[in-house]
């Protein structure tokens, strides 16, 4: 597949991890 997808997936995982951390630190 195109090489940019290999760079795209880890970034998405990092964003999900950061989002998870934000929800843990700042619950609604």
Task: Please state the φ and ψ torsions of residue 24, each to the nearest 5 degrees.
Answer: -70, -40
| Residue located via tokens 């597949």 | 1
Whether 1 shows a pLDDT value over 70: the answer reads no
Q: Give the pLDDT confidence score for residue 22 in this predicted structure.
A: 85
CA angle 4, 9, 1 (to 5 degrees): 40
Q: What is the mean pLDDT of the chain?
A: 78
The answer, as to whether pTM is greater than 0.85, is: no
> How far is CA 27 from each of CA 1, 8, 10, 19, rounded to the nearest angstrom?
39, 28, 25, 11
The CA-CA-CA angle for residues 8, 14, 6, to 5°, reads 20
């Amino acid at each position: 597949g195109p090489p940019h997808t290999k760079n795209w997936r880890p970034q998405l995982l990092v964003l999900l991890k950061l989002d998870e951390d934000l929800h843990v630190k700042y619950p609604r």
